[in-house]
Amino acid sequence: MTRPTEALHTQEMLINMGPQHPSTHGVLRVLLRTDGEVVVNARPDIGYLHRGLEKIGERVTYAQFMPFTDRLDYLAGMNCNCAWAWAVEKLAGIEVPERAEYIRVIVSELNRISSHLIAFGSFTADMGAFTPFLYSIREREVVNDLFEMVCGNRLTYNYARVGGVSADLPQGFLEKTKEFLDYFEPKIDEYNNLISYNKIFVHRLANVAVISAKDAVGYGLTGPNLRGSGVKFDLRKDEPYSVYPKLEFDVCVGTGERGALGDCFDRYMVRINEMRQSIRILRQAVAQIPEGPVMAKVPRLFKPAAGEVYFRSECPRGETGFYIISDGTTNPSRLKIRTGSFVTMNIFETVTKGLMIADIVAVIGSFDIILPEIDR
């Protein structure tokens, strides 16, 4: 979009987008300086959802922090649960039974699907097409039903434990999961036919907010936002943890198929394609899962040796990392949480310069940010 010439220059307008706005995906406030419809500057203002999770982490034991990780990214509670468990196990050197690791991978990938479904649905709703949103909600309900079977909860799961998971999979869960995968896989084609390759939709996203691979790495983007710029980096492959090395899947990257590499459309398509890969992983995991215990023998109160550990795992919104410093007591001495959405906000002001107001909505949607992860 070209800026109006100087002769047409008009007075700039300062607009408050949020913290209550339908398309900021929560309580994000963006200060827009606009020249008519053209955005001169968009400054994100965060902190409306700050709960001090990191400080809380220092006051509770390692096991007690588990429910708080649900609130880290409430659309991907399982992924955060497992990430915390893996981080503490790495710190304390706990061996986890293989069945538990498989269960963790299954619930994580299911949660990745449901999280990407919300990303897809809310993004299309932001673009003005409300129908796909309800389709995505319909599919997400099935995942929620599966999680209800597993742990009794539909949003905040608190399922993983340090040393395993809280309970074994219930009877019939694996069959139900297979059923869901068979039902869900064709739906992705349905989405693509309905909206992904819709001409208006593509025109709204292609070449908007292009992030080069260099910038993406430089600003520390992770997850689908990084891969959308064509950088093939996935922690499940490049820093393998759990049983991911035993499972075959491809890392989806943006290809610039409808515009420049690293535009909003690429980031969107990465998520769509990742749902297919998650289905692939799930099919293998469901077939391979061994019998056995789901919990290692871990004392209720354990004291990891003094030291520090950083563990990062691939969550739907990028890298979620826990940096834990232990002083040998039952609580962490210091806890730092690195989340994908928070780091992504760094590049927001840079890429939105010169876009239009409607594009700001597209950029927020394509980043798939979630506010509890930004503010923690």
Q: Which residues bind other proteins (CB under 8 A)?
A: 1, 13, 15, 21-23, 36-37, 124-131, 134-135, 138, 194-195, 198, 200-201, 203-204, 356-359, 361
CB of 205 to other proteins, least distance (A): 10
**Distance between CA atoms of 155 and 169, rounded to whole angstroms?**
18
- Amino acid found at 216: A
CB of 331 to other proteins, least distance (A): 43
Does residue 42 come out as left (phi exceeding 0), alpha (psi in the -120 to 50 range) or beta? beta
CB of 85 to other proteins, least distance (A): 36
- Residue pair 150/177 in contact (Cβ under 8 Å)? The answer is no
**Distance between CA atoms of 177 and 282, rounded to whole angstroms?**
8
At 260, list the tokens. Answer: 């420049």
CB of 128 to other proteins, least distance (A): 3
**Distance between CA atoms of 98 and 295, rounded to whole angstroms?**
9
CB of 201 to other proteins, least distance (A): 5
Packing angle, helices 173-191 and 98-126, rounded to 10: 30
Residue 323 backbone phi and psi in degrees, to 5: -105, 110
In a 3-state reduction of DSSP, which class is residue 30?
Answer: strand
